[in-house]
Every structure is written in C-alpha cells, then in structure tokens.
Structure 1
C-alpha cells in the first residue's frame, strides 16, 4: 500500500524574504525560493517547512508548530546566539511543562509560535495518567 512520505507544515507570512532569513537563522535553509509565487521550501534538521506569502490584507490567524528535539537544552544552547539577538518577547527560554515535556518557544516575524520540546518523563509518570 502506498504510504505517506512526510508531513510538511505551511507557514504563512507577509514578507517572504524576512521569513526565509528567520528560518535560515534556525537552521532551515531556503532551498527553493520563488518570490514571484510567494513560496519558499526550507529544509533543515532532517525536515522541511513551506513558507507561503499572503497579501498584506489577509488575516493570517494563529499558527503553531511543535518541533520534537532529542535534547532540548543542547538545541537551545546551539541556537542561543541567534535567539539572544531576537526581541525578548519573541523567545521563551527552556522550561518544564506539567505534561512531561521540556520546551522553549520562539515566535517568527508573523507570530507563528514554534514550540521546541523534549520528553522529560513518560506520560504514565504524570500524576493522573493511566497506564495502557
């Protein structure tokens, strides 16, 4: 049976060049950029993002992407020089969530929330969770 090869999120933007620069700073290099179509395909960390420019009048709405990483603190430290240059309101440093994840958050220029996270405990270790 044919299967799904990958899942690639779309990120909407009003400024294609600024978004490509932002995602490149996080390790997603724009491999295919078509400014006339308002489209870019950015790859990095073994995955990809599709960036799509919308009209200035378009309502983008809330966007969120969860990126699972193997070592959240090491990944944050690797990106820290870039993150330290961003406005403080766009970056939330690593913290532990009640649902067993350690995360840090970054907002792109169009307020898409990127949630980077690593598991710090199994779901069954969280109080109130059932074992299957």
Structure 2
C-alpha cells in the first residue's frame, strides 16, 4: 500500500498577496512556489497552497501527496461508483494526479505523486 507524505489544504483567496503575507508575516511560512495565481508555502514539513478564487475556484480543496499513486488507483478504481473523479494523469508541473470530489461536500481531493 502507499505511504502518505503530506496533506495540504488548498485555500482559495480573492487577494493572494494579502493571504500569503498573513502566513509569512504572522506564522513564518516561506514561499516554495509562486506562480502569481498559485503559491505554495512551507513551514517545517507542512505546506499550504493558496490559489486564486474565481468562478471556477472557490470550493475547499486538499492535496494528498503520496509515494505510490498507482497502488491507490488500483485499490480505489473499482469502488468509485457515484463519486466524481479523474483517472491518473500527468500535470505539467511534475506531478501525476487523481482528482476526487469528496461525497456530500464541495471539496476536491487531489492525490499526487512526483514524476521522476
């Protein structure tokens, strides 16, 4: 079975600069990725993802980074009846991901593994 490496909240923001400043100035997080509309902050072994809120973004999201995405997919793929999902695929930012909508919520779960 897989090993969970990180579980990171993905927080939609209407003002990314102010949201990022909150975590940096008050809680001493550091920026590890900044694409202007998507920022990843880190403190010790914890990460928080800040993304631009908008028409298509605004629901709660979590990112679960794992060490073996294929084993999770093999385990869950036959048990997704009634669950909205996207099969494993590669992202241009170096992650292979599965996307799942958590039932009875407005929450999206990204499960990802670094490629290469």
TM-score category, normalised to shorter length: 0.3 to 0.5
* Bigger radius of gyration: 1
Query: TM-score, with normalisation over the residues of structure 1?
Result: 0.42
* Greater RCO (CA < 8 Å, at least 6 residues apart): 2
Query: TM-score, with normalisation over the residues of structure 2?
Result: 0.47
